[in-house]
Chains A and B, each alone.
Chain A
Amino acid sequence: MADKHKINVFGLKFDYRLLIIIPIALTIFAIAVLVNQYLTTGEWFNRSIELRGGTLLTIKTDKEVPVATVEQILGGEFGSISVRGLRGFGEQGVLISLDASADYSRAVERLSAGGINITSYSIENVGSSLSSVFWSQAQVAIIIAFVLMTIITFVVFRNFVPSVAVIASAASDIVVTVGLMQVFGVEFSLASLGALLMLIGYSVDTDIMLTTRLLKESEITGLGEKIKEALKTGLSMTLTSIGAALALLIIPLPQVLVDIASVLLIGLVIDIINTWLMNSVMLRWYLESKGVS
């Protein structure tokens, strides 16, 4: 009886229920990151221009321009600015963040007058009122998406514990991903919001596959075997997606696609942990307690 919950992985014998500590620890870590961010900056998330308001100037130049030169030319006239070098697309340039109210045309003129040869430029400006609407609605969208997912899960499985296991794993996916986004400096933008919503779907895909495999009759006997087969399928699913997301990050791509790929990459890695160390553990524990073996 003592060995009831023991499993053997690569010669290591341990109680599989202990595995759930890893995803729980990760979730606590992510919450700690968010709380820490809130305490130090007053903001829960590092938001993009669209969600906090501001202006992003993308300047393409004929030759490389040092960030310091740009900062020096713009000086203190435009309030708080931040300048980054632009990489990729086989061209040079800088990304400049300005306040929403800053006169961006003037900033462009200043740079031209300051001897920087601008070949082309793009501007993205979102006023603070619109961005706050976006931001509050983005939060609503996540909550509604989550509620809909919960309803569908309950309707499909009509079984309390397995449904809760799926939902807990998806919730942990979102929380940990958002936490790690702060760690890796991925901004919360409308594109990453889209990717987060998509992630709910991706994360539930593997959970549903796992739950169906374990709950329904099949040719494979034994919970351990069933989980092993499901793991094979699930890892193939997640690894192809991770592979694609990684490929997107290797190529220099526009920010929208970088945001989507980064969030999916972080989220899918976390999903492996949550599906196989949280959802499957909860489900196995539940089934074993019901006498299924």
Chain B
Amino acid sequence: MLKYWRILLLFIVITGAVLAIGLKPRVHGVEVAYVTRDSPASGILKQGMVISELNGHAVSSAQQWDSEAMSLRGPVSLVADGVAYDFTVNDSIGIETEDLQSTNLEFGLDLRGGTRIILKPRENATRATIEQVIGTLQTRINMYGLKEIKFFPVESPDGWYIQIEATGVGRDVVDELLSSKGSFEAKVSKPVDIRNGRGTMQLGQNTYPVEVTNETVRVNGQDIPANGSFQLEGIDFQLGNTSAGKVIFMATVYRGNDIENIYTDPQHSSLVPYGNYYKFYFTVLVSSQGAERFAKVTSGVPSQMDLNSGEYYLKDCEIFLYLDNELQSNLRIASSLGGKAYSTPQIEGSRETRDDAAQEKMKLQTILRSGALPVSLETSSIAIISPTLGSNFIQAAMLAALVAGAVVITIVFVRYRKFKVAVPLVLIGLSEIIIVLGISASGPYDTAIWMSVLVANLLVIILAWWKLHESDLSAWAGAMLVPILGLLSWNTDLPAIGGLIAAIGTGVDQMIIIADETVGGKNITRKIYSIKEKIGRAFFIVFTAAATNISSLLPMLFVAAGIFMRGFVITTIVGILTGILITRPAYAKLIEAGTEHEHSKKQDNKQPQS
């Protein structure tokens, strides 16, 4: 048994690969791909959750979900990740799902459908800036409960790019993610009482006259048209509502760059039941300039008691939080804060249910934290692939692999007409596909599987060395490197399938070399070299060929163009490495064993005659 340790190594690696592809907890249902913003489940169901039941009966496919769920109105109950949820659907349930993957293979964007966008900063950006942009975008997507949007910084001689891949996600999400520039503004409504057409606006210690005639408002001697804006003491104001006794000005007190920290620790950020409501609050740290603006604008504003709570708030003076000019939230300001240079304002609010309150709190924190993107971005490339196109591609690619495999098998059989050469060649070729796919897979037990493979490999190779005194550098390298490569994972996309075909192609070529060097040649008159020497020479060719193959593909990984072809390059290189280190030595051993077997058979046949 140990004599065939190279074949044993191959079996261990194949077993590992099969487990890495197939071993995953069995669940039934459909996976949430995307929850639209206006869905009643928005913020409750998250991407990746598994919906197993809809209105009391099982859901098993995305197609079934589409036909049954999309037209539902009224009360809907469903079970996601084992927890029951009830929603009331007004317009559309707004949950897009996809079929659960039955393997640990992650299919790429071009096979599953989705959106890929490549962004380039308009100005030169450092890696730190790019990381910051990615951080901001990452924070934003969490708002949508999306997990499966991936961001990659891509360096090229031309500067940095950001690649975004959103598998199985509607393009509207990505559009929204990017279209929102994330410009944050906090405006405080500054009321000015008007008596007989006159009033004063107090900003800190200073006051400015405000005059109101029929149609026009004059501030500090300057005519302000309706909705017009002006500046006082470096603060941007906009003219808001004017009524008989009052003019409201909207003053911008904080901008995104004023936010220095968002506290999320329990002391500064919490959620408490409050009467029939749930109240949430959290503290933000703003810059001293921001705090100063707040103090000026809120100075001289009278207080008013809230009849429900008995607490005092500034009258007609509220803080409005805007993201990309869209009002997100408006909050009252406690009277104790009026006129203070407050650098740690507390943002608070309340909602009817605990979940809603928690959701609103998280949303506000997210907006404030994500802030504006540090650089403006332009879209360099966009690819949107519809999921139906992708699923057709999988079938086509599988059919292609089958037909290509059949052609190779036929040619090999025609060429050798010897089962002992051709059958192992075909089987080894197949095992290579399984191993490469297994290495690319990323399941929950990936690490455990490949570490077990590593241990088993080492055991076999040490035993072989100890008992048989057989070992070579490439066997050691293969026994250790392949399980370590197993920890890698990458998407099986179209280029990766192309790479797999290319790698198998070189694999078959190399096995033909091995077969011909050892048993293929017919016109041999003298037998000088042992089978081991012949195999040695075959491997000289195989290793040189593999080295050129790998080195001609490597440059592709290090150029920007590699971002589309990563799957191709990685699959091919991993395929070639696995080939020369694990599967080709096993093939050579099979050929060697077959030849020896034939030898001994011939001798057996001869014995009765002699």
State the A residues within 8 Å of B (CB).
50, 58, 60, 88-91, 119-127, 129-130, 133-134, 137-138, 140-142, 144-146, 148-149, 152-153, 156, 190-191, 193-195, 197-198, 200-202, 204-206, 208-209, 212, 216, 218-221, 225, 228-229, 232-233, 236-241, 243-248, 250-254, 256-257, 260, 264
Contact = CB atoms under 8 A, between A and B. Distances in A.
A156 B524 CA distance: 27
Nearest to A248: B400
Interface string B440-458: 0000000000000000000
Contacts of A129: 120, 158, 380
A60 B389 contact: yes
Given A201-B549, A251-B399, A121 B411 contact: no
Contacts of B552: 145-146, 148-149, 197-198, 200-201, 204
5 contacts: A120-B387, A133-B560, A137-B157, A145-B552, A254-B494
A256 B495 contact: yes
A50 B383 CA distance: 11
> Which 4 A-B pairs have CB atoms at the shortest separation, nearest pair first?
A201-B549, A130-B380, A137-B559, A120-B386
Contact of A256 (B157, B389, B494): B494
Given A130-B381, A220-B521, A232-B516, A194 B499 contact: yes
Contacts of B560: 130, 133-134, 137
Given A126-B381, A219-B529, A205 B545 contact: yes
Contacts of A141: 555-556, 559, 561
Given A194-B498, A241-B505, A219 B120 contact: no
Where chain A touches its partner, the secondary structure class is helix
Of the four ranges (under 10, 10 to 19, 20 to 34, 35 or more), the interface on chain B belongs to 35 or more
Contacts of B568: 191, 194, 260
Contacts of B399: 251
B161 A208 contact: no
A120 B389 contact: yes
A130 B494 contact: no
Contacts of A140: 555, 559
Interface in B332-391: 378-389
Contact of B505 (A124, A190, A200, A244): A244
A121 to B, nearest CB: 6
Contact of B386 (A121, A146, A228): A121
A219 B524 contact: yes
Given A120-B388, A233-B516, A256-B495, A137 B412 contact: no
Interface in B515-540: 516, 520-521, 523-529, 537, 540
- Which residue, B382, B385, B407, B548, has most C-beta atoms of chain A within 10 A? B548
Contacts of B551: 145, 148-149, 152
A257 B565 contact: no
